[in-house]
Structure 1
Amino acid sequence: YLDDLNEFIKGKPLQYIVGREWFYGLPLTVTPDTLIPRPETEELVHEALKHLKEIKGEEPLRILDIGTGSGAIAITMKHERPFDDVTATDISEPALKVAQENANMHQLDIRFLQGDLLEPVTLETFDCIISNPPYISYSETDVMDESVLEYEPHTALFADNEGISLYERLAYTLPFHLKTDGCLFMEIGYQQGEKLKELYQKAFPDKEVTIQQDINGLDRMLIVK
């Protein structure tokens, strides 16, 4: 107990000390190989679930989670929609091991694939794609919590070109993987809404692209449907 308390005093996130975090009502294992799931991502999942229920009901769908980390998004989608076929990708093998452990914990059948973004699903299409990619600019380190910088995996936090480099890469490839009537939900940085809306409207000229705010009133979700 005292060892854990000293780690907490030093700034180590409580979730890494106890090895657990709750997400959408489910306990998940988290390690320093995975990002700690945040409430903003719960909002993203909630919006996706609400849209799919309204538009598709309980029709079995193919769901893809890009950059799954601890598996939070994929696991929640499968838990809430057990009839769907859920796939999750991540470039990190250690993170995928944690995600698989979490899926096993909740007895959920999810396909986990290792690889960069969409590479593991090259010729596949999906009804709904969800992603919380790294979107923090390296210039924002001065305003970030020290414990986040010291303990959470930087590969899951930061991206080049003011944080939008992965969104740019995905904008070129996602149209080939999203079905004609499919939907896309992505978590974004609070300063990236206008630029990413323009980028994804060009990528999906026949779809509606919107930016939605989180509970704090900040731009947080890019939605294509």
Structure 2
Amino acid sequence: MVTIKNALDEGIKLLKEYKAGTESIGFDNYALDANVLLCHILKKDKAYLIAHRDDEIPRDIYNEFLSLIKRRCAGEPVAYIINKKEFWDLTFYVDSRVLIPRPDTEVLVEYIIDNYKDKAVKILDIGTGSGAIAVTLKKHIKNARVFALDVSGEALDVARKNARLCGVEITFFQLDILKEDLPDTYDIIVSNPPYIESRNIPRLIQDVRDFEPEIALDGGEDGLKFYRRIVDVSQTHLKDGGLLAFEVGFNQAEAVLSLMEGFYDKKTLKDLSGISRVVLGKKCPNQGNF
């Protein structure tokens, strides 16, 4: 007989054993991972697991749980295993075609919602990936018209799916921002672009390096390639007084601020760890005309 408690104990044990044999795997909350995976299979919440810890589970369910634990031991992120990630107050579908939404990005989204929720604004999300930023902004800024682009057609398929799941209308289009021009002007341009320096990609934890799409991570030689280009196109495609809002990597805030010539009210916002993760600025008049 295998109970819920037995299954969780075995899952935690396997995760700990695997972690002990490697230094590159990016997890250490074994109980959380095991609980999330078992909840996913049983289609129950954590409260159910606690209340029914001595209940027996079918052998096939137990074996399926162990197969998911093995995938986690191999480094695959939990979000990809269960095809789900919470972001802000929404649940997003995710798979290996897109970067997994991070809590850090909520700082960026929160600022825009707090300052524009009652305004009729036209928003462009560059490098939308899963659509987490675009979908969340549209969900909470009712009068916004939201547009979102990505170079990856596969990522756009995921983003469109998330827009449908969350019940919002967004205009998605495929475009290589490094090579192509934007089609219109906007009140807000927002982006969480690739910002890892190319030489650091092999040094990323296994969860990220081996499973998340490199195209969504690699920011070029100095990690600033996309910021330079987006600042440049914003000169002609952001309306006067319009907001340019970036998420940035660790220790990149000052470098990105220095790129934003022709912008005023420039500032940074910190995440819960006290790290500057968001860079903001408004476009000065006469910096370019579309």
Q: Same fold (TM over 0.5)?
A: yes
After superposition, the C-alpha distances for 1:154-194 in whole angstroms (9 at most, x for unaligned) are: 11011113100111112211111111121111001122122
1:71 aligns with 2:131: yes
Q: How does 1:7-156 map to 2 (within 5 A)?
A: 7-53=71-117, 58-117=118-177, 122-141=182-201, 144-156=204-216
Could you list the structure 1 runs, at least 4 aligned residues long, displaced by more than 2 angstroms after superposition. Answer: 117-123, 138-144
Displacement, 1:123? 3.7
**Structure-2 change in CA distance of 1:99 and 1:116 (3 Å):** same
Q: Figure out how many residues of one structure are paired with residues of the other and give that number.
A: 218
**Structure-2 change in CA distance of 1:76 and 1:121 (3 Å):** farther
| Alpha-carbon contact 2:182-2:233 (below 8 Å) kept | no
* Gap runs ≥5 in structure 1: none
Indicate which of 219, 225, 248 corresponds to 1:159: 219
| Alpha-carbon contact 1:113-1:120 (below 8 Å) kept | no
1:213 aligns with 2:277: no
Alpha-carbon distance in 2 for matches of 1:113, 1:120? 12
Alpha-carbon distance in 1 for matches of 2:275, 2:123? 26
**Structure-2 change in CA distance of 1:118 and 1:10 (3 Å):** closer
Alpha-carbon distance in 1 for matches of 2:179, 2:156? 15
Alpha-carbon distance in 1 for matches of 2:119, 2:274? 33
| Alpha-carbon contact 1:114-1:120 (below 8 Å) kept | no
Displacement, 1:124? 0.9
1:179 aligns with 2:239: yes
* Gap runs ≥5 in structure 2: 1-63, 283-290
Q: Percent identity?
A: 36
| Matched residue type, 1:4 | L
Displacement, 1:43? 1.1
Q: Give TM-score scaled by structure 2 length.
A: 0.72
**Structure-2 change in CA distance of 1:218 and 1:143 (3 Å):** farther
SS of 1:176's partner is helix
SS of 2:168's partner is coil
| Matched residue type, 1:214 | D
User: Highest Rg: 1 or 2?
Assistant: 2
Residue range with higher mean Cα deviation, 112-121 or 26-35: 112-121
Higher relative contact order (CA 8 A, sep 6+): 1
| Matched residue type, 1:22 | E
Alpha-carbon distance in 2 for matches of 1:135, 1:178? 22
Displacement, 1:143? 5.1
Displacement, 1:14? 0.3
| Matched residue type, 1:93 | G
SS of 2:95's partner is coil
